[in-house]
Structure 1
């Protein structure tokens, strides 16, 4: 059985997406909703640790408020996959393999995004659980036995970004496996960043993303040379400021190419 933990800041979205979808599920579940509409929790790690400690079931799912499950047997099907993975430390629905020549090639998922729902064109579609380096934060599942010994790092990830990435790397360093499941979900937010909600932005990623990134890279520098996330690839040796400039250059170049293609 799965315990579902969600910290939400928009009750309508929470009710219309995650909660509505859960009510249609064929499997029983435990819901631990964490109301953060008053900004009581200042980071995802603190909020999710608070909820995860309350969980009573074999698996703990940490999901965003704007996620819906496809189909109604999602929880039941997911648990079958989870039970089949001997070294499971954490699983998710979108992640980054270390194999591939670009972020596009390294991506693994079968997610649908946006309004109206459409298949996410980023990454490779999968048909079975695949090992990856890191997972996207939209939905991850951790065995309770793993969570009992490894919580989200509240000091390294003191904001709302990269907490699952850091968890994946820490889990792998302890010998646990990290996997993407071939489980389809609908995620309202398009891509890794919901730009409508960003208030402090320098480029296409928020400033607090880079603040957390700096600490994640430092923490795992002795184990990894490159850390792959759904937003990009990051070198643990070079300063984040330098990589930020490089990321922006690549982003603007990509946008310019797309605009040129549209005009042509």
Structure 2
């Protein structure tokens, strides 16, 4: 950079300190320790992996949206695993297998940003994609994997650090943040997949009052965000909608002139 002051720094693509960051909200230390040991035994050793936690074992320091955002911001791994404390790697699901699954998805779709072991596609039928084992020996398998999805289950989410994803600041709580992160990824041009990476999960989920309260906040946010609207910039004004007919109608010059005239008449009447 000849001719520029010496204090100017040239920015390059990031060089990550670790291959993986394993990030967890911890409420039960014994359970987390069991999870941690299974990861280390599965090849996620300290030389290539860092372990970050939000310690909620004594007091609730951060909810899922806030805590996982902090973990994403501080993670130094190329890939960030956001997972529950009550999962265990199986004998066959280890670092080598996860490396291979990442390579396979990267060939299939270089714009992926999120991988999970359970999720749902945005279609009415055959929407579920799942491969999770439970302590009682039951293995829940649905769909053909890998499967592109619109949401992932929160028990295990792998995030590409370079995608610079974040959770919403206006939802909060401990539910549906997998859906929220997938929505953010899609808006930024990335995709999400469920992959064949079998884990043991001690819980089958907890649908309680707080779930429905979070669901209401999620629906309110995204209904508002996705509604048809006029977009204004310093140069262009245009209408956006999920309905092609409305896009055509509201972007025609004739209708825009009618709307502009109506707005002018309304302004004049308000001043008189």
Q: TM-score, normalised by structure 1?
A: 0.70
* Pair 1:135-2:152 in alignment: yes
Taking the aligned partners of 1:54 and 1:72, their CA distance within structure 2 comes to 30
Q: Of residues 21, 27, 44 in structure 1, which corresponds to 2:64? A: 44
What is the rounded CA distance, in whole Å, between the counterparts of 1:125 and 1:36 in structure 2? 35
Equivalence for 1:213: 215
Q: Is the 8 A contact 2:93 2:199 kept in 1?
A: no
In structure 2, the residue matched to 1:22 is: 39
1:68 alignment partner, SS class: strand
1:4 and 1:72 mapped to 2: Cα distance? 19
The answer for unaligned runs of 5 or more in structure 1 is 194-204, 225-264
Q: Using the alignment, how far apart are the partners of 1:130 and 1:184 within structure 2?
A: 15
Moved over 3 A (4+): none
Size of the alignment, in residue pairs? Answer: 201
**In the alignment, is the contact (CA less than 8 A) between 1:117 and 1:186 conserved in 2?**
no
CA–CA distance in 2 between the matches of 1:30 and 1:42? Answer: 20
Higher RCO (CA < 8 A, seq sep 6+) = 1
Bigger drift between 77-86 and 45-54 goes to 77-86
Change (3 A) 1:217 1:37: same
The answer for the alignment partner of 2:114 in structure 1 is 90
Structure 2 regions of 5+ residues with no counterpart? 1-18, 228-272
Alignment of 1:186 with 2:207, yes or no, is: no
Shift of 1:171: 1.2
Instruction: Give secondary structure in 2 for the equivalent of 1:91.
Output: strand
Rounded to whole Å, the distance in 1 between the matches of 2:191 and 2:78 is 17
Contact 1:42 1:159 in 2 (8 A): no
Deviation of 1:80 after TM superposition, in Å, equals: 2.8
Residue 151 of structure 1 corresponds to: 166
Task: Find the aligned partners of 1:13 and 1:39 in 2 and give their Cα distance.
Answer: 17
Superimposed CA distance per residue, residues 161-219 of structure 1 (whole angstroms, 9 cap, x where no aligned partner): 11111111121122110110111000001x222xxxxxxxxxxx322211211121122
Instruction: State the superposition RMSD in angstroms.
Output: 2.0
Identify the match of residue 174 of structure 1 among 188, 194, 198: 188
Instruction: Give me the TM-score of the superposition, normalised by structure 2.
Output: 0.68
Partners of 1:13 and 1:108 in 2: CA distance: 26
User: 2 CA distance for matches of 1:217 and 1:99?
Assistant: 18
Residues 135, 168 of structure 1: 8 Å contact kept: yes
Q: Does the CA contact (< 8 Å) of 1:2 and 1:75 recur in 2?
A: no
